[in-house]
Protein backbone atom coordinates (compact mmCIF):
# COMPACT_ATOMS: atom_id res chain seq x y z
CA UNK A 1 0.00 0.00 0.00
CA UNK A 2 1.40 3.35 -1.05
CA UNK A 3 1.82 5.96 1.67
CA UNK A 4 0.28 9.36 1.12
CA UNK A 5 2.64 12.16 0.14
CA UNK A 6 3.15 14.65 2.97
CA UNK A 7 1.32 17.95 2.47
CA UNK A 8 3.15 21.14 3.48
CA UNK A 9 2.01 24.54 4.68
CA UNK A 10 3.86 26.10 1.71
CA UNK A 11 1.64 24.12 -0.68
CA UNK A 12 -1.37 25.65 1.06
CA UNK A 13 0.06 29.07 0.19
CA UNK A 14 1.87 30.07 3.40
CA UNK A 15 5.68 30.20 3.45
CA UNK A 16 7.01 30.05 7.02
CA UNK A 17 10.61 30.57 5.90
CA UNK A 18 9.66 33.71 3.96
CA UNK A 19 7.93 35.04 7.07
CA UNK A 20 11.09 34.56 9.14
CA UNK A 21 13.13 36.41 6.53
CA UNK A 22 10.51 39.16 6.44
CA UNK A 23 10.58 39.71 10.21
CA UNK A 24 14.34 40.00 10.12
CA UNK A 25 14.30 42.40 7.16
CA UNK A 26 12.13 45.02 8.90
CA UNK A 27 14.23 45.17 12.07
CA UNK A 28 16.16 48.29 10.95
CA UNK A 29 12.96 50.21 10.17
CA UNK A 30 11.54 49.43 13.60
CA UNK A 31 14.72 50.25 15.51
CA UNK A 32 14.90 53.65 13.77
CA UNK A 33 11.79 54.67 15.75
CA UNK A 34 13.03 53.59 19.21
CA UNK A 35 14.13 55.74 22.13
CA UNK A 36 15.41 54.60 25.52
CA UNK A 37 11.88 53.85 26.77
CA UNK A 38 11.67 50.85 24.43
CA UNK A 39 12.70 47.64 26.19
CA UNK A 40 12.25 45.34 23.19
CA UNK A 41 14.23 42.31 22.21
CA UNK A 42 13.73 41.66 18.49
CA UNK A 43 11.62 38.55 17.98
CA UNK A 44 9.87 38.75 21.36
CA UNK A 45 6.22 37.76 21.63
CA UNK A 46 5.29 41.28 22.82
CA UNK A 47 6.82 44.73 22.92
CA UNK A 48 7.77 46.44 26.17
CA UNK A 49 7.65 50.19 26.68
CA UNK A 50 8.56 52.15 29.80
CA UNK A 51 6.03 54.90 30.54
CA UNK A 52 8.78 57.26 31.70
CA UNK A 53 12.49 57.81 31.07
CA UNK A 54 14.97 56.68 33.68
CA UNK A 55 17.22 59.68 32.92
CA UNK A 56 16.37 62.60 35.23
CA UNK A 57 16.80 65.13 32.43
CA UNK A 58 14.02 63.60 30.32
CA UNK A 59 11.59 62.38 32.97
CA UNK A 60 7.92 63.20 32.49
CA UNK A 61 7.17 62.81 36.22
CA UNK A 62 3.55 61.83 35.65
CA UNK A 63 1.30 62.25 38.66
CA UNK A 64 -1.89 60.83 37.16
CA UNK A 65 -1.09 59.35 33.73
CA UNK A 66 -4.09 58.42 31.59
CA UNK A 67 -3.48 56.02 28.71
CA UNK A 68 -5.08 56.70 25.31
CA UNK A 69 -5.74 54.05 22.66
CA UNK A 70 -6.68 54.47 18.99
CA UNK A 71 -7.08 52.14 16.04
CA UNK A 72 -7.77 52.79 12.36
CA UNK A 73 -6.97 51.72 8.83
CA UNK A 74 -6.42 53.30 5.43
CA UNK A 75 -9.63 52.07 3.81
CA UNK A 76 -9.91 51.66 0.05
CA UNK A 77 -7.08 54.13 -0.55
CA UNK A 78 -5.06 50.89 -0.42
CA UNK A 79 -6.66 49.80 -3.72
CA UNK A 80 -5.71 53.09 -5.39
CA UNK A 81 -2.14 52.70 -4.11
CA UNK A 82 -1.97 49.17 -5.52
CA UNK A 83 -3.39 50.39 -8.85
CA UNK A 84 -0.77 53.16 -9.06
CA UNK A 85 2.03 50.89 -7.73
CA UNK A 86 2.69 53.46 -4.99
CA UNK A 87 2.33 51.82 -1.58
CA UNK A 88 5.05 53.31 0.64
CA UNK A 89 3.05 56.36 1.74
CA UNK A 90 0.11 54.17 2.75
CA UNK A 91 2.25 53.35 5.78
CA UNK A 92 2.37 57.05 6.69
CA UNK A 93 -1.41 57.21 6.22
CA UNK A 94 -1.82 54.31 8.61
CA UNK A 95 0.11 56.00 11.41
CA UNK A 96 -1.48 59.40 10.77
CA UNK A 97 -5.05 58.15 11.06
CA UNK A 98 -4.48 56.91 14.60
CA UNK A 99 -2.02 59.44 16.04
CA UNK A 100 -4.03 62.43 14.77
CA UNK A 101 -7.04 61.06 16.65
CA UNK A 102 -4.95 60.39 19.74
CA UNK A 103 -3.59 63.94 20.07
CA UNK A 104 -7.08 65.50 20.13
CA UNK A 105 -7.12 64.51 23.83
CA UNK A 106 -3.91 66.46 24.39
CA UNK A 107 -1.86 63.29 24.65
CA UNK A 108 1.58 62.20 23.51
CA UNK A 109 1.83 59.15 21.19
CA UNK A 110 4.04 56.50 22.82
CA UNK A 111 4.04 53.53 20.48
CA UNK A 112 2.38 52.08 17.41
CA UNK A 113 1.55 48.54 16.26
CA UNK A 114 0.71 47.55 12.70
CA UNK A 115 -1.24 44.67 11.18
CA UNK A 116 -0.52 43.79 7.55
CA UNK A 117 -2.64 41.12 5.86
CA UNK A 118 -1.41 39.93 2.45
CA UNK A 119 -2.16 37.47 -0.31
CA UNK A 120 1.48 36.43 -0.49
CA UNK A 121 4.59 37.53 1.35
CA UNK A 122 6.79 39.54 -1.00
CA UNK A 123 9.38 40.99 1.39
CA UNK A 124 10.95 43.52 -0.99
CA UNK A 125 7.61 45.09 -1.92
CA UNK A 126 6.11 44.97 1.56
CA UNK A 127 9.24 46.51 3.06
CA UNK A 128 8.17 49.76 1.36
CA UNK A 129 5.01 49.81 3.43
CA UNK A 130 6.87 49.20 6.68
CA UNK A 131 9.36 51.95 5.76
CA UNK A 132 6.32 54.23 5.41
CA UNK A 133 4.99 53.14 8.79
CA UNK A 134 8.40 53.83 10.36
CA UNK A 135 8.51 57.24 8.65
CA UNK A 136 5.08 58.06 10.09
CA UNK A 137 6.20 56.96 13.55
CA UNK A 138 9.29 59.16 13.36
CA UNK A 139 7.10 62.13 12.37
CA UNK A 140 4.80 61.39 15.30
CA UNK A 141 7.65 60.82 17.77
CA UNK A 142 6.46 57.34 18.70
CA UNK A 143 8.02 53.88 18.55
CA UNK A 144 7.02 51.20 16.06
CA UNK A 145 6.93 48.64 18.83
CA UNK A 146 5.81 45.60 16.88
CA UNK A 147 3.20 44.22 14.54
CA UNK A 148 1.79 41.24 12.73
CA UNK A 149 1.95 40.11 9.12
CA UNK A 150 -0.62 37.52 8.06
CA UNK A 151 -0.26 35.60 4.80
CA UNK A 152 -3.76 34.60 3.66
CA UNK A 153 -3.88 33.60 -0.02
CA UNK A 154 -7.50 32.44 0.20
CA UNK A 155 -8.64 35.73 1.75
CA UNK A 156 -6.96 38.31 -0.52
CA UNK A 157 -6.59 38.53 -4.30
CA UNK A 158 -3.13 38.25 -5.82
CA UNK A 159 -1.15 41.45 -5.15
CA UNK A 160 -3.67 42.75 -2.63
CA UNK A 161 -3.25 43.51 1.06
CA UNK A 162 -4.91 45.41 3.89
CA UNK A 163 -3.58 47.55 6.72
CA UNK A 164 -4.66 48.31 10.27
CA UNK A 165 -2.86 50.21 13.01
CA UNK A 166 -3.03 50.74 16.74
CA UNK A 167 -1.58 53.68 18.68
CA UNK A 168 -1.15 54.06 22.42
CA UNK A 169 -0.45 57.40 24.09
CA UNK A 170 -0.55 59.10 27.47
CA UNK A 171 -1.79 62.37 28.89
CA UNK A 172 -1.49 63.86 32.37
CA UNK A 173 -5.06 63.83 33.70
CA UNK A 174 -5.14 67.53 34.61
CA UNK A 175 -3.90 68.48 31.11
CA UNK A 176 -6.45 66.44 29.17
CA UNK A 177 -8.20 68.49 26.49
CA UNK A 178 -11.91 68.21 27.26
CA UNK A 179 -14.48 69.58 24.75
CA UNK A 180 -16.88 70.27 27.63
CA UNK A 181 -14.83 73.45 28.13
CA UNK A 182 -15.82 74.84 24.72
CA UNK A 183 -17.80 78.07 25.16
CA UNK A 184 -19.30 80.77 22.91
CA UNK A 185 -16.59 83.14 21.69
CA UNK A 186 -13.91 80.48 21.21
CA UNK A 187 -12.02 80.87 17.92
CA UNK A 188 -11.63 77.99 15.45
CA UNK A 189 -8.19 77.65 13.84
CA UNK A 190 -7.60 75.11 11.09
CA UNK A 191 -4.47 73.43 9.72
CA UNK A 192 -4.30 72.55 6.00
CA UNK A 193 -4.58 69.02 4.71
CA UNK A 194 -2.48 67.58 1.90
CA UNK A 195 -5.60 66.45 0.04
CA UNK A 196 -8.32 63.88 0.83
CA UNK A 197 -5.97 62.19 3.34
CA UNK A 198 -7.49 58.71 3.87
CA UNK A 199 -11.23 59.25 3.62
CA UNK A 200 -13.80 59.12 0.85
CA UNK A 201 -11.83 56.75 -1.38
CA UNK A 202 -14.75 54.53 -2.34
CA UNK A 203 -16.29 57.61 -3.92
CA UNK A 204 -12.92 58.77 -5.31
CA UNK A 205 -12.27 55.43 -6.96
CA UNK A 206 -15.69 55.53 -8.57
CA UNK A 207 -14.99 59.03 -9.91
CA UNK A 208 -11.56 58.02 -11.20
CA UNK A 209 -13.01 55.01 -12.98
CA UNK A 210 -10.73 53.84 -15.76
CA UNK A 211 -8.80 57.09 -16.07
CA UNK A 212 -5.03 56.79 -16.03
CA UNK A 213 -3.64 57.96 -12.70
CA UNK A 214 -0.62 59.36 -14.52
CA UNK A 215 -2.75 62.02 -16.25
CA UNK A 216 -1.89 65.59 -15.18
CA UNK A 217 -4.12 67.52 -12.79
CA UNK A 218 -4.58 70.83 -14.58
CA UNK A 219 -2.65 73.81 -13.22
CA UNK A 220 -0.81 71.90 -10.49
CA UNK A 221 2.22 70.18 -12.00
CA UNK A 222 0.93 67.03 -10.32
CA UNK A 223 -0.53 63.85 -11.69
CA UNK A 224 -3.86 62.53 -10.48
CA UNK A 225 -1.90 59.90 -8.51
CA UNK A 226 0.25 62.60 -6.87
CA UNK A 227 -2.83 64.46 -5.64
CA UNK A 228 -4.93 61.48 -4.60
CA UNK A 229 -2.14 59.50 -2.93
CA UNK A 230 -0.47 62.37 -1.05
CA UNK A 231 0.11 61.00 2.47
CA UNK A 232 -2.09 62.11 5.34
CA UNK A 233 -0.43 64.94 7.26
CA UNK A 234 0.67 64.19 10.83
CA UNK A 235 -0.12 67.07 13.21
CA UNK A 236 1.63 65.81 16.34
CA UNK A 237 4.53 68.28 16.38
CA UNK A 238 2.24 71.30 15.83
CA UNK A 239 -0.12 70.24 18.60
CA UNK A 240 2.73 69.55 21.01
CA UNK A 241 4.25 72.96 20.22
CA UNK A 242 1.04 74.70 21.28
CA UNK A 243 0.20 72.56 24.31
CA UNK A 244 3.81 72.55 25.49
CA UNK A 245 3.90 76.35 25.40
CA UNK A 246 0.92 76.62 27.73
CA UNK A 247 1.78 74.32 30.61
CA UNK A 248 -0.49 76.04 33.13
CA UNK A 249 -3.11 77.95 31.17
CA UNK A 250 -5.55 75.76 29.27
CA UNK A 251 -6.08 77.96 26.22
CA UNK A 252 -7.03 75.14 23.82
CA UNK A 253 -10.56 74.03 24.67
CA UNK A 254 -10.92 71.27 22.05
CA UNK A 255 -9.34 69.77 18.95
CA UNK A 256 -10.79 67.81 16.04
CA UNK A 257 -9.17 65.55 13.45
CA UNK A 258 -11.10 66.04 10.20
CA UNK A 259 -11.71 62.58 8.75
CA UNK A 260 -14.78 60.87 7.27
CA UNK A 261 -17.80 63.15 7.66
CA UNK A 262 -15.73 66.24 6.97
CA UNK A 263 -15.92 69.46 8.94
CA UNK A 264 -19.65 69.21 9.82
CA UNK A 265 -19.39 65.84 11.53
CA UNK A 266 -15.96 66.10 13.12
CA UNK A 267 -16.20 69.67 14.43
CA UNK A 268 -19.67 68.68 15.60
CA UNK A 269 -18.08 66.04 17.82
CA UNK A 270 -16.40 68.71 19.98
CA UNK A 271 -19.50 70.87 20.47
CA UNK A 272 -21.39 70.98 23.77
CA UNK A 273 -25.20 70.75 23.35
CA UNK A 274 -25.69 74.53 23.69
CA UNK A 275 -22.98 75.65 21.24
CA UNK A 276 -22.81 75.98 17.46
CA UNK A 277 -19.68 76.28 15.31
CA UNK A 278 -19.71 78.89 12.55
CA UNK A 279 -17.20 78.12 9.78
CA UNK A 280 -16.55 80.69 7.03
CA UNK A 281 -15.69 78.53 4.03
CA UNK A 282 -14.39 81.49 2.00
CA UNK A 283 -11.43 81.88 4.36
CA UNK A 284 -9.40 79.20 2.61
CA UNK A 285 -8.98 77.67 -0.85
CA UNK A 286 -9.16 73.87 -0.96
CA UNK A 287 -6.39 72.10 -2.95
CA UNK A 288 -7.20 71.71 -6.68
CA UNK A 289 -7.89 68.00 -6.32
CA UNK A 290 -11.19 68.87 -4.62
CA UNK A 291 -12.21 71.04 -7.59
CA UNK A 292 -11.49 68.09 -9.86
CA UNK A 293 -13.57 65.73 -7.70
CA UNK A 294 -16.48 68.17 -7.64
CA UNK A 295 -16.24 68.60 -11.43
CA UNK A 296 -16.92 64.87 -11.79
CA UNK A 297 -20.47 65.38 -10.56
CA UNK A 298 -20.38 65.65 -6.75
CA UNK A 299 -22.41 68.57 -5.36
CA UNK A 300 -21.01 71.04 -2.83
CA UNK A 301 -22.93 69.72 0.18
CA UNK A 302 -21.77 66.16 -0.50
CA UNK A 303 -18.17 67.36 -0.93
CA UNK A 304 -18.21 68.91 2.56
CA UNK A 305 -19.99 65.89 4.01
CA UNK A 306 -17.47 63.35 2.64
CA UNK A 307 -14.11 65.15 2.40
CA UNK A 308 -11.98 67.38 4.62
CA UNK A 309 -12.00 70.04 1.86
CA UNK A 310 -8.45 71.14 2.63
CA UNK A 311 -8.65 71.34 6.44
CA UNK A 312 -7.15 68.38 8.28
CA UNK A 313 -7.16 69.52 11.91
CA UNK A 314 -9.04 72.14 13.96
CA UNK A 315 -8.32 73.86 17.28
CA UNK A 316 -10.92 75.63 19.41
CA UNK A 317 -9.03 78.35 21.31
CA UNK A 318 -9.93 80.96 23.92
CA UNK A 319 -10.33 84.27 22.01
CA UNK A 320 -7.72 86.13 24.10
CA UNK A 321 -5.05 83.64 23.00
CA UNK A 322 -6.08 83.07 19.38
CA UNK A 323 -3.38 85.32 17.88
CA UNK A 324 -0.67 83.82 20.06
CA UNK A 325 -1.68 80.27 19.10
CA UNK A 326 -1.76 81.34 15.46
CA UNK A 327 1.85 82.58 15.78
CA UNK A 328 2.98 79.40 17.52
CA UNK A 329 1.54 77.30 14.70
CA UNK A 330 3.37 79.42 12.15
CA UNK A 331 6.61 78.82 14.04
CA UNK A 332 5.87 75.10 13.95
CA UNK A 333 5.89 75.27 10.15
CA UNK A 334 2.12 75.33 9.69
CA UNK A 335 -0.11 77.70 7.69
CA UNK A 336 -2.97 78.17 10.16
CA UNK A 337 -6.32 79.58 9.07
CA UNK A 338 -8.89 81.29 11.29
CA UNK A 339 -11.99 79.36 10.24
CA UNK A 340 -14.67 80.90 12.43
CA UNK A 341 -15.95 80.85 15.97
CA UNK A 342 -18.18 79.20 18.54
CA UNK A 343 -21.56 80.75 19.33
CA UNK A 344 -24.65 79.80 21.30
CA UNK A 345 -26.72 77.16 19.59
CA UNK A 346 -27.80 73.52 19.56
CA UNK A 347 -24.65 71.53 18.82
CA UNK A 348 -24.65 72.21 15.07
CA UNK A 349 -21.97 73.22 12.55
CA UNK A 350 -22.90 76.12 10.26
CA UNK A 351 -20.99 76.38 6.97
CA UNK A 352 -21.20 79.93 5.63
Are 206 and 168 in the same domain?
no
User: CATH number for the domain including 265?
Assistant: 3.90.650.10
Are 208 and 259 in the same domain?
yes
User: CATH number for the domain including 144?
Assistant: 3.30.1330.10
348 pLDDT more than 90? yes
* Residue 4 located in a structural domain: no
Give the Cα separation of 182 and 159 in Å (integer). 47
Are 29 and 102 in the same domain?
yes
2 pLDDT more than 70? no
Are 51 and 116 in the same domain?
yes
Are 229 and 287 in the same domain?
yes
Identify the domain boundary among 156, 175, 194. Answer: 175
| 3-state per-residue secondary structure call for 57-75 | HHCCCCCCEEEEEEEEECC
Q: How many domains does one find in the chain?
A: 2
Predicted confidence at residue 45, as pLDDT, reads 80
* Residue 54 located in a structural domain: yes
pLDDT in tens, 155-206: 999 999 999 999 999 999 999 999 999 999 999 999 999 999 999 999 999 9
Are 202 and 221 in the same domain?
yes
Are 169 and 212 in the same domain?
no
* Residue 214 located in a structural domain: yes
The average confidence (pLDDT) of the chain is 92
* Residue 5 located in a structural domain: no
Predicted confidence at residue 10, as pLDDT, reads 72
Are 146 and 224 in the same domain?
no
Mean pLDDT, residues 37-54 taken together: 81
57 pLDDT more than 70? no
Identify the domain boundary among 175, 199, 218. Answer: 175
List own/partner pairs for 214-217 with CB under 8 A and 24 or more apart: 217/288, 217/289, 217/292
Are 14 and 72 in the same domain?
yes
* Residue 3 located in a structural domain: no
Are 156 and 192 in the same domain?
no
* Residue 165 located in a structural domain: yes
271 pLDDT more than 80? yes
Are 118 and 99 in the same domain?
yes
Domain that includes residue 52, residue range: 10-175
Are 86 and 124 in the same domain?
yes
pTM: 0.93
326 pLDDT more than 90? yes
Amino acid sequence: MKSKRAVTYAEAGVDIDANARWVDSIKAAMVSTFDTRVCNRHGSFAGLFSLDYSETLFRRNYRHPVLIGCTDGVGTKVLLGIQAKRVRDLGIDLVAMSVNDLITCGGEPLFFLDYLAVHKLAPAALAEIIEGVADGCRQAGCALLGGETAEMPDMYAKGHFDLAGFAVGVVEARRRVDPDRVTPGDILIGLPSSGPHSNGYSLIRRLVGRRKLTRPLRGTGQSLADALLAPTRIYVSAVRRVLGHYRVKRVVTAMAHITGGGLPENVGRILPPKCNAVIEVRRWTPPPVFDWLQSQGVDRDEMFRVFNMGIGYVFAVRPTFARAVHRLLHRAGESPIVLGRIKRGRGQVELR
